A = this chain, B = another copy of it.
Amino acid sequence: MKIESVEFYYLAMPEVALIADGSQDALVVRIDAGGLTGWGECEASPLVSVAAFIAPMSHAACQPVSASVIGRDLHAPDDIRAMAAAVAYNSMDLLQASHTWSGIEMALWDLLGKARSEPAWKLLGYDRAYPKTPYASVLFGETPEITLARARDIVCQGFRAAKFGWAPFGETLDGDIAQLDAAREGLGPDGVLLVDAGQVFVEDVEAAAARLEAMNRNRVTWFEEPFAGHALAAYRALGQRAQGGKVGLAGGEAAHNRHMAEHLIEYGGVQFIQIDCGRIGGLGPAKQIAAHAVSKGVVYVNHTFTSNLALSASLQPFAGLEVHEICEYPTGLSTLARDLTRRRIAPDENGMINVPDAPGLGVEICEDALTRYHVPIEIMVRNETLFAS
């Protein structure tokens, strides 16, 4: 089948607040080919990712993403890989290209799975999908008391693991210690506690290391993104400071290609590699990273803070890895992210998350949401409309 059209839907909440909630907008991708439709989602900045699809060519190595997708044939997984290679080469100087391509790549696996009546994880080479233990992913409260209440609520919802992240974490050492103590108290002695610093220490190893004692005392399983995504030397140095303790380093969501994630393992020394399929280039490179993680004794985890479409996509690349059994499961989604899909991926009676056992990504889009949250945009170049929706 030939790729006939790639459409983008920019969706947003009526108000986007200055908080680290990544579900406040979305860029949904729809691809039509051979009478079938595939869906995907790009992570963040919809306007910029749309621009990267339709921008006029700057030169041969800076072509828009569309140049490597429209009109191509799609019959097998290798066709998706060939398109990925074409985007990487033809758009090498267009930085945003990998974020744009990520949502397209997801939609292509969805399409191919529907054409073959197979889930994407089967097309990726797995024989079966194992249930994952979800961790509830929430932001730290403004005060330790709010964090305590959030942790208790998570336990009441039946979760065995929780991640707290972002501001005010990193502002003061005493404040952070109080937050960590509150989170542990709220989760109780048995809950798995994860912490996401949201890059707040940039590359200040001492500042990050000052939190290790309280993390060890509170049995924090991982310390996520202490530093900027590229600060491999800082990761390495903090890992050495953490040796002998309980805390492992986690990171990888910023990676926009397979190499970056592998470098975080090789040179940064993380124990948990977190991949966002909406940024890394989709399911194909994520599956390669999962295999690499297995070979290095590193745990693969999805990074997902948006809709169930993105969640399903992000679970596929490690669906068949039984021992990599923890998964991010955003619980504080905006109504937009909740309304986008018809049937939601929810914990089963054992509290586990099951990757959909249905063709493609196995998630049905609620087209009504595409209208309700639609953000109209129009991009004109030389008085010609290159994009309007």
User: Would A18 and B57 count as touching, CB distance under 8 A?
Assistant: yes
Binding site secondary structure of chain A = loop
CB of A204 to closest CB in B, whole Å: 12
User: Would A94 and B45 count as touching, CB distance under 8 A?
Assistant: yes
Contact of A383 among B94, B232, B262, B376 (CB under 8 A): B376
User: Would A202 and B85 count as touching, CB distance under 8 A?
Assistant: yes
What B residues does A25 contact at CB under 8 A? Answer: 56, 58-59
What B residues does A56 contact at CB under 8 A? Answer: 12, 16, 25, 47, 375
* A51 at interface, CB cutoff 8 A: yes
Q: With A19-B60, A202-B85, A267-B263 in contact, do A95 and B93 touch (Cβ < 8 Å)?
A: no
User: Would B58 and A263 count as touching, CB distance under 8 A?
Assistant: no
CB of A93 to closest CB in B, whole Å: 4
* A271 at interface, CB cutoff 8 A: no
- Distance of A48 Cα from B57 Cα, bound (Å): 11
User: Would B381 and A43 count as touching, CB distance under 8 A?
Assistant: no
* A61 at interface, CB cutoff 8 A: yes
* A55 at interface, CB cutoff 8 A: yes
- Distance of A12 Cα from B56 Cα, bound (Å): 10
Contact of A93 among B18, B44, B57, B267 (CB under 8 A): B44
* A257 at interface, CB cutoff 8 A: yes
Which residue of chain B is the closest to A200 with respect to CB atoms? B89
* A21 at interface, CB cutoff 8 A: yes
User: Would B230 and A19 count as touching, CB distance under 8 A?
Assistant: no
- Distance of A198 Cα from B88 Cα, bound (Å): 12
* A380 at interface, CB cutoff 8 A: yes
Contact of A51 among B51, B199, B375 (CB under 8 A): B51
- Distance of A215 Cα from B198 Cα, bound (Å): 46
What B residues does A46 contact at CB under 8 A? Answer: 55, 58
* A20 at interface, CB cutoff 8 A: yes
What B residues does A375 contact at CB under 8 A? Answer: 56, 381-382
What B residues does A17 contact at CB under 8 A? Answer: 59
Q: A25-B56, A44-B59, A44-B94 are in contact. List 17 more A-B contacts (CB 8 A).
A: A12-B56, A16-B57, A18-B59, A43-B93, A45-B95, A47-B56, A47-B381, A48-B48, A51-B379, A56-B375, A61-B198, A95-B256, A228-B259, A375-B381, A376-B380, A377-B381, A378-B380
Hey, which bits of chain A sit against chain B, CB under 8 A? 12, 16-22, 24-25, 43-48, 50-52, 55-62, 85, 88-89, 92-96, 98-99, 166-167, 198-199, 202, 228-233, 254, 256-257, 259-260, 262-263, 266-267, 279, 375-383
List 22 interface pairs A-B (beta carbons < 8 Å), by A numbering.
A16-B59, A20-B61, A44-B58, A44-B93, A44-B94, A45-B93, A45-B96, A47-B55, A47-B56, A48-B52, A48-B96, A50-B51, A51-B379, A61-B198, A88-B202, A88-B228, A92-B199, A92-B228, A228-B259, A230-B257, A233-B262, A375-B381
